[in-house]
């Protein structure tokens, strides 16, 4: 599968809502509560104005999911990814995470619920290393290779 990242645009609002706010994705998020579309729309409009990257993942030219890197409350870069259910298990997540990290200048963290074995396996396959594990949350870090 050919995987590319392109910057998200205003018209991707509904599509990103469908991926990020799908019940099976919310269920593996830190805060599992449902998100109303209006709240998503406000978040998305603000988020698009920020410098931090927010991408659409395209697999063989078709939109497959979304990945972004945010600054968390500790000023760490933190990656989030969600693929549509039909796009999972074909190596797209792994490739998208690798591409996102390669475009970021510095270490990238990922916080994953300990029960989300698919995601943990995927991040580990990308070279993420476990940093800490508490309260059902595992924190991983990826560090770029020294030049």
Ligand X SMILES: CC(C)(COP(=O)(O)OP(=O)(O)OC[C@H]1O[C@@H](n2cnc3c(N)ncnc32)[C@H](O)[C@@H]1OP(=O)(O)O)[C@@H](O)C(=O)NCCC(=O)NCCS
List interacting residues with ligand X (CB under 6 A). 25, 28, 65, 81-83, 88-94, 112, 116-119, 121-122, 125
- Residue 89: name the closest of 143, 46, 125, 44 by CA: 125
Nearer to ligand X, 100 or 122 (CB): 122
Q: How far is the CB of 9 from ligand X (least distance, A)?
A: 21
Q: Supply the minimum distance, in Å, between the C-beta of residue 82 and ligand X.
A: 4
> Quick one: tokens of 52?
């931090």
Give 45 or 124: the residue with its C-beta nearer to ligand X.
124
Please say which residue, 32 or 45, places its beta carbon nearer to ligand X. Answer: 32
DSSP notation for 87-106: GTTSSHHHHHHHHHHHTSSS
With CB atoms as reference, the residue minimizing the distance to ligand X is: 93
Least Å distance between CB 116 and ligand X? 5
SS3 at position 13: helix
7 bridge partner residues: 55
3-state secondary structure of 128: coil
Closest distance of CB 44 from ligand X, Å? 18
Please name every residue paired with 134 in a beta bridge, in sequence order, or none if there are none: 137
């Amino acid at each position: 599968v050919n995987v590319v990242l392109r910057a998200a645009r205003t018209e991707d609002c509904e599509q990103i809502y469908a991926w990020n706010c799908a019940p099976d994705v919310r269920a593996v998020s830190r805060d599992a509560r449902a998100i109303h579309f209006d709240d998503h729309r406000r978040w998305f409009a603000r988020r698009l104005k920020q410098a931090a990257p927010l991408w659409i993942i395209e697999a063989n030219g078709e939109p497959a999911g979304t990945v972004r890197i945010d600054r968390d409350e500790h000023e760490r870069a933190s990656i989030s990814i969600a693929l549509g259910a039909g796009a999972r298990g074909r190596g797209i997540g792994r490739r998208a995470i690798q591409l996102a990290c390669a475009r970021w200048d510095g270490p990238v963290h990922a916080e994953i619920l300990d029960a989300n074995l698919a995601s943990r396996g995927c991040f580990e396959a990308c070279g993420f290393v476990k940093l800490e594990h508490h309260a059902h949350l595992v924190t991983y870090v990826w560090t770029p290779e020294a030049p």
